[in-house]
Amino acid sequence: MLQFGGFSFAVLLFTVTAATVERVQHDYYKYHPMEEISTWMTQMAKDHPDLVTIVDYGRTYEKRTIKLLKIGLNTEAKKKAVWVECGIHAREWISPAFCQYFVKQILQTYKTDAKMEKMVRNMDFYVTPVLNVDGYVYTWNDSTTRLWRKNRTPGPSSGCYGTDLNRNFDSNWGTVGVSFDCKKEIYCGTHVMSELETQAVTYFVGTRKDDFLCFLTIHSFSQMILLPFGHPNYTASNYNELMKVGLGAAEAIWKVHGQNYTVGTSPDVLYPFSGSSQDWAHMQGIHFSYTFELRDKGTFGFQLPEDQIQPACEEAYSGALHIITYAHDQTFSGAVVTAAATLWTLLLAAGVTLM
Ligand SMILES: *[C@@H]1O[C@H](CO)[C@@H](O)[C@H](O)[C@H]1NC(C)=O
Ligand SMILES: *[C@@H]1O[C@H](CO)[C@@H](O)[C@H](O)[C@H]1NC(C)=O
Ligand SMILES: *[C@@H]1O[C@H](CO)[C@@H](O)[C@H](O)[C@H]1NC(C)=O
Ligand SMILES: [Zn+2]
């Protein structure tokens, strides 16, 4: 009996080891080509069926699917939402790395962290790891294409490719900080929303815009938190609050690894430009719309070494969480009201007289 027990224990151990070996651990601190990111997305949905679903919401010029992970607990109540968009510019590899880290953190913390549990109960997180899929795939082709920025749509004249997706949205399109020359990095497209990726975001977010509290679009580099508007002649109605919350996020970032992030509108701290997803989202009434420009400040630029992925993601996560938590608490302050009502009921039940 004893020997038989020992034998089955060995078999069990072997089975567990085989299962572990079969499944390759996703390394969050390396850059991944598109197929690996897709495989990882599938795995996330498989591992967390109660929380994660994959949503296909568009197709690129080269016929690749644009996908996001929807993360949230199923509740009966009507939920709010948060948009996190990575990889709109192909060469900014730290951006998709951030989205993967962001998803990992939520899934790792919600079971033990009461605040995160509440947030996945009240809100759905819509996370697009790579919006510009064709461009991203192209940057992985060989060293000569590593610094490609735009998508891969053929331009109106021969030999020119790609539109800058962050100049193509319906937010004062084509008015400032753009080029109409299809060979340029900031080519804004033949017309507003000419690109399939822009259309996908516009349709997906636009049809549920009242649900979204936050719209975060992640770029690199220069260590900045930008707020609407990129157009110099418009000021956001909630500019003061956006600045206050943005500065709070920068402080949260600084606390993690001592990195300095600058906060402001793009015309104030970078350069003016029109047609960004951030401006478009704010114009839809999504109040907390921000652009993150992650590490570094130019030493490595778009080619941030892999040993900086972890610190860059850790600090940016802290900044993003500051904004998301603020937006969440503003909307779901009802929780406080409920707690007070419960206390009142208890006091009444105990026969306490309040004066
Ligand atoms: C991809 O890289 C290969 C090998 O360097 C090259 O021959 C090919 O032209 C590249 N493809 C594109 C679309 O640039
Ligand atoms: C901003 O407004 C000024 C004054 O009306 C105008 O001259 C300028 O062209 C505008 N800028 C842009 C980028 O539209
Ligand atoms: C942070 O960056 C801003 C803007 O570049 C600069 O004015 C400020 O002095 C920097 N602070 C530190 C501590 O480096
Ligand atoms: Zn960018």
Q: What is the pLDDT of residues 115-174, one digit of tens each?
A: 999 999 999 999 999 999 999 999 999 999 999 999 999 999 888 999 999 999 999 999
The CA distance from 242 to 246, in Å, is 6
CB 102 within 8 A of CB 320: yes
Alpha carbon of 42 to ligand 3 centroid (Å): 41
Closest ligand by atom to 143 CA = 1
Q: Does 310 contact ligand 2 (Cβ within 6 A)?
A: no
Q: How open is the CA angle 104-206-331, to the nearest 5 degrees? A: 60
**Beta-carbon count within 10 A of 252 CB:** 20
Kind of pairing between the strands at 80-85 and 52-59: unpaired
Cα 185 to middle of ligand 4, angstroms: 11
Given the structure tokens 């795995």, which residue do they identify? Answer: 43
pLDDT of residue 157: 87
Rounded distance, CA 86 to CA 99, Å? 6
Q: Per the residue annotation, which of 85, 195, 197, 293 is the catalytic one?
A: 293
CA–CA separation, 276 vs 214, rounded Å?
15
Report CA(233)–ligand 2 centroid distance (Å).
6
Instruction: For residue 307, report the distance from its CA to the centre of ligand 3, in Å.
Output: 24
Torsion angle in degrees (nearest 10) through CA of 246, 77, 72, 256 = 30
* Pocket lining for ligand 3, CB < 6 angstroms: 260, 262
Q: Best substitution site from 171, 229, 233 to test ligand 2's pocket, by max atoms within 8 Å of Cβ?
A: 233
Q: Which amino acid residue places its CA nearest to atom 8 of ligand 3?
A: 260
Best residue among 142, 145, 150 to mutate for probing ligand 1, ranked by most atoms within 8 Å of CB: 142
Cβ neighbors of 99 (< 8 A, separation 6 or more) are 84, 86, 87, 127, 128, 129, 130, 218
Full set of structural domains in the chain with CATH:
26-348 (3.40.630.10)
- In this structure, the chain runs to a length of 355
> What does the pLDDT read at residue 344?
45
> Which amino acid is present at 161?
Y
pTM of the model as a whole: 0.88
Residue 268's Cβ-side half-sphere holds a number of Cα atoms within 13 Å equal to: 14
For 241, residues 6+ apart whose C-beta sits below 8 A from its C-beta are: 287
HEC sequence for the chain? CHHHHHHHHHHHHHHHHHHHHHCCCCCCCCCCCHHHHHHHHHHHHHHCCCCEEEEEEEECCCCCEEEEEEECCCCCCCCEEEEEECCCCCCCCHHHHHHHHHHHHHHHHCCCCHHHHHHHHHEEEEEECCCCHHHHHHHCCCHHHCCCCCCCCECCCCCCECCCHHHCCCCCCCCCCCECCCCCCCECCCCCCCCHHHHHHHHHHHCCHHHEEEEEEEEECCCEEEECCCCCCCCCCCHHHHHHHHHHHHHHHHHHHCCCCEEEEHHHHCCCCCCCHHHHHHHCCCCEEEEEEECCCCCCCCCCCHHHHHHHHHHHHHHHHHHHHHHHHHHCCHHHHHHHHHHHHHHHHCCCCCC
314 is a catalytic site residue? no
Residue ranges of the chain with per-residue pLDDT less than 70 = 1-23, 334-355
Question: Which ligand is nearest to the Cα of residue 172, counting in written order?
Answer: 2
Residue 271's nearest CA partner among 177, 184, 174 is 177
The preferred substitution site among 137, 141, 143, 147 for testing ligand 1, maximizing ligand atoms within 8 Å of CB, is 141
**Measured in angstroms, how far is the CA atom of residue 219 from the centroid of ligand 3?**
20
The answer to whether the beta carbons of residues 140 and 152 sit under 8 Å apart is no
